[in-house]
Amino acid sequence: MHNRKNRTAWARNGFETQPFFILNCRKARVAKKRKPAKKNPAAPVNGDTFLGKAPAGAVEVSSREGRLTWGEWIGAGVFLFALGIYLLFFLFQKTEIGERFGVGLALLMNPDFYWLFWTGSPDGKIYPLDRFPVLVGVVFHLSLCGGIGYWVNSFLLRLRTTPLESTLLAMATGLGSLSAYTVLLGWMHLYSLKYLLLVPPFVFSCLGFYRLARKGALGRVPRGGGQLSEDPLQARQHWTNWIALGNLPFAILILLASSNPPWEFDVREYHLQVPKEWYQTGGITWLRHNIYGNMPLGTEMHALFAMLYVPGKDDWWWGALIGKTVSGTFSILSAASIYCLGARLFGRFAGSTASVVYLSTPWVTANSIVGYNEAAVGFFLLMSLLTLVLIFWECRNSATSFSFCFQSVRPFLMTGFFAGASVACKYTAVPFVALPVLGFTLLMVLLGNRARTAVILTFLLIGMALGGGVWFSKNLFLTGNPTYPLLESVFDSERTDAQEEQWAKAHGTPENVAAVSALQEKAGSLLVSYKWLSPLVFPFFLLGLFSNSRRLVWSLCLYLLSVFLVWLMATHRLERFLLPVLPVVCLVCGAGCCWLQHRHWKLIVFFVLLPGVGFNWMLSSSRLVGDVRIFSRLADLDCRSLNASDFYHPQGLVVPLNHRVPEIAWLNQERPQAKVLFFGECRPFEAEFDVIYNTCFDPCETSRRLTGKTPEKIRQSLKEEGITHL
């Protein structure tokens, strides 16, 4: 806590009295002329924040060596008492996987279960090198994206950055650019050229690494800017700031488990099935039989691009595994981004704790290893926020005026690009990411330099169009509806009224549930009863509301509240749709961890995190979150074969995944030249033969061929079409 003298010192420099992150340059210039104040052991110090100076709005102080005051001890005691009460409700809450306390106790008392979870069989054999080809492909893929990003950012994003920030921004730029490049290739139906298509991204990647090697530093200061006040990686810091190393086991688990073959229904229905179809047909087309394939699939394009550079007959299979693993790495990149943002906003200790709270959450592991795209949306959201924070940082360090920072509009182009890249992954990113970024940028410009508002917003919108506009253009050209299959009442397409009613009934907001009842139910689920929650999130989030950086924290909470209301009122309320904003929640948790800067308080936080992270590890590394057979052979997990195995336990204590379709495996082995009409099955990803299928929201392919025909005509029409099996 700060005394009156410290608060006066902050106000004298124009930090405490200003709106959220807005610099009062006049006061800052006056402060430079004044005689420096005497050092105070409780005052902010350069070495304790990310770039050597505390950010505007943040009031972090060094780890004090004296004793806590009585008021601070009482506050810490109230927090620990409330934490204990919450943990009682949390641990004894019944969820879909059972009562948490009973589940945790069973896992704790039977550690031998984990060897079964990780190997998939009682014999315990491991194959540590079996995933080597997939991991090599992932390293090549991410290196390619990083090189492209360095090359682009060297022209468009010349801001003061640390090496880690520069790397993350390059990865985000490269991942978004490579995804858009793959879509454009599909529009031109060029996938059959295969290796020739690798030349442009490979050349730009090499140019990026060449520029990087020539500069000799990742976080090089742009021309005309001052030097960084201090290297954050060499600054002296408290040992608890290295808490971020707790992310390492979760990152390894996510990386290995996400390289497993897909087993979840949606992933095999469209997340990986659609890239496979487009790759095999040579280009991107409108899929009448798979409505989900006409939505934005920016994350899934990495699987399709990997299919282009993987050699051999099974290029689509190995490319899909590489793409699925790349999707899993987005959560790891998000954890690093949370560290950077938390460090800039609240200090390194906040960044470390916030990143651990995020990546240790079982919800993150479960979503990452299955092959969904929510982690990608969250990562691009963080990159949009990071670019805006960097622009503010430039304004704070500017020696002239606040409007000086808006003379260059190129950073806003990249802000828009990251927001557009999130929309390219999922439609929900429009209200969750794109519109908030647009509104916040508008507010920021109006408070800074209104004369350049039109130019800056134009560049922001151009960036959004470059990042995600290609998907809307594709749907407009192919269906007449840029938001297909949404907004059918505004844009006409070939869908019938019955199909639209069926879609709205399944994906719209439940009409039979009152808003107040839904609010109570969903709020309780997200706070206590959801099966993959972390016991660390809500307590530290609540404490963050009372942190010293209240303006900044409450601004983030206002954003979270708006997202929650949109999710509650305009979606079908799947919990995983809110996962992209979990990083923002964890940033507030990081502020809560820095409620006090005393070393004793940091030790309290550490000893609260330790059992919480341990509990999360028990769940995240178990079969409860999905397929975690990280040491098993890929051949044993390959559902294309009849030899594929599932979890086995003699006492039946491990629930199987039941993801293998024996009929598809048999046809792959016995009838690889067959052409099969699927009826009631729409997850044909493992099929190596020709398939005809449809989702339940599309016209039924089987009914269209069988309705109103005699058996003889049915057999004749199927034979003429080349269909051999039903």
Q: DSSP assignment, residue 235?
A: S
Pairing of strands 98-99, 94-95: antiparallel
Q: Per-residue confidence at 611, pLDDT binned at 50, 70, 90?
A: very high
Q: Per-residue confidence at 336, pLDDT binned at 50, 70, 90?
A: very high
Q: Name which of 509-518, 520-529, 662-671 the model is least confident about.
A: 509-518
Q: Which of 94-98, 108-112, 177-181, 650-654 has the highest mean pLDDT?
A: 177-181
Residue 579 token pair: 């996962």
Q: What is the rounded average pLDDT of the residues 104-124? A: 85
Phi/psi at 542 (nearest 5 deg)? -65, -40
pLDDT value at residue 34: 44
For the CA atoms of 397, 400, 401, 407, the dihedral, rounded to the nearest 10 degrees, stands at -90
- Mean pLDDT, the chain, whole residue set: 83
pLDDT value at residue 651: 53
The yes-or-no verdict on residue 379 having pLDDT over 80 is yes
pLDDT value at residue 510: 72
AA letter at 473: S
CA 297 from chain center: how many Å? 14
Q: Per-residue confidence at 600, pLDDT binned at 50, 70, 90?
A: confident
Q: What is the rounded average pLDDT of the residues 360-388? A: 96
Triad 133, 138, 144: Cα angle to 5° = 125
The yes-or-no verdict on residue 418 having pLDDT over 60 is yes
pLDDT value at residue 19: 32
The span from the CA of 205 to the CA of 150, in Å, is: 8
β-bridge partners, 94:
99
Q: Per-residue confidence at 175, pLDDT binned at 50, 70, 90?
A: very high
pLDDT value at residue 56: 39
The span from the CA of 93 to the CA of 58, in Å, is: 36
β-bridge partners, 692:
677
SS3 102: helix
Q: Return the HEC string of 108-139.
A: HHCCHHHHHHHHCCCCCCCCCCCCHHHHHHHH
Q: Contact 357/531 with Cβ under 8 angstroms?
A: no
The candidate with the shortest Cα–Cα distance to 502, out of 295, 681, 697, is 697
Q: Per-residue confidence at 125, pLDDT binned at 50, 70, 90?
A: confident
Q: Contact 384/437 with Cβ under 8 angstroms?
A: yes
The yes-or-no verdict on residue 619 having pLDDT over 60 is yes
The span from the CA of 589 to the CA of 538, in Å, is: 8
Q: Per-residue confidence at 489, pLDDT binned at 50, 70, 90?
A: confident
The yes-or-no verdict on residue 397 having pLDDT over 70 is no
> For 20-77, what is each residue's pLDDT tens digit?
333 333 343 334 444 444 443 333 333 333 333 444 334 344 455 567 788 888 888 9
Phi/psi at 358 (nearest 5 deg)? -70, -60
Q: Contact 422/382 with Cβ under 8 angstroms?
A: no
The span from the CA of 421 to the CA of 463, in Å, is: 9
Q: Contact 344/590 with Cβ under 8 angstroms?
A: no
The yes-or-no verdict on residue 217 having pLDDT over 70 is no
Q: What share of the chain in percent tops pLDDT 70? A: 83
* Residue 195, burial from CB neighbour count under 10 angstroms (0-12, 13-18, 19+): exposed
pLDDT value at residue 486: 87
> For 337-371, what is each residue's pLDDT tens digit?
999 999 999 989 999 999 999 999 999 999 999 99
Q: What share of the chain is helix, strand, coil (3-state, %, to 5)?
A: 65, 0, 35
User: H-helix or E-strand containing 676?
Assistant: strand 675-677
The span from the CA of 536 to the CA of 541, in Å, is: 8
Residue 406 token pair: 């808006």
The yes-or-no verdict on residue 232 having pLDDT over 70 is no
pLDDT value at residue 409: 81
> For 262-310, what is each residue's pLDDT tens digit?
988 999 999 999 999 999 999 999 998 999 999 999 999 999 999 999 9
The candidate with the shortest Cα–Cα distance to 324, out of 264, 247, 252, is 264
Q: What is the rounded average pLDDT of the residues 592-599? A: 87
The span from the CA of 479 to the CA of 687, in Å, is: 28
Q: DSSP assignment, residue 271?
A: I
More confident residue, 445 or 448: 445
Q: Name which of 113-117, 352-356, 444-448 the model is least confident about.
A: 444-448
User: H-helix or E-strand containing 99?
Assistant: strand 98-99
The span from the CA of 552 to the CA of 55, in Å, is: 11
The candidate with the shortest Cα–Cα distance to 183, out of 498, 474, 491, 583, is 474
CA distances, 647 to each of 122, 367, 491 (Å): 9, 20, 47
The span from the CA of 156 to the CA of 409, in Å, is: 9
Residue 161 token pair: 């950055």
Residue 167 token pair: 């790397």
> For 233-257, what is each residue's pLDDT tens digit?
344 556 667 899 999 999 999 999 9
CA distances, 541 to each of 87, 303, 532 (Å): 14, 36, 17
Q: What share of the chain in percent tops pLDDT 90? A: 48
pLDDT value at residue 54: 41
> For 76-102, what is each residue's pLDDT tens digit?
899 999 999 999 999 999 888 888 999
pLDDT value at residue 569: 86
Q: Contact 442/457 with Cβ under 8 angstroms?
A: yes
User: H-helix or E-strand containing 550?
Assistant: helix 550-570
**217: region left, alpha or beta (phi > 0 left; psi from -120 to 50 alpha):** beta
Q: In residues, how long is the chain?
A: 726
Report cis status (omega within 30 of 0) of the bond before 111: no
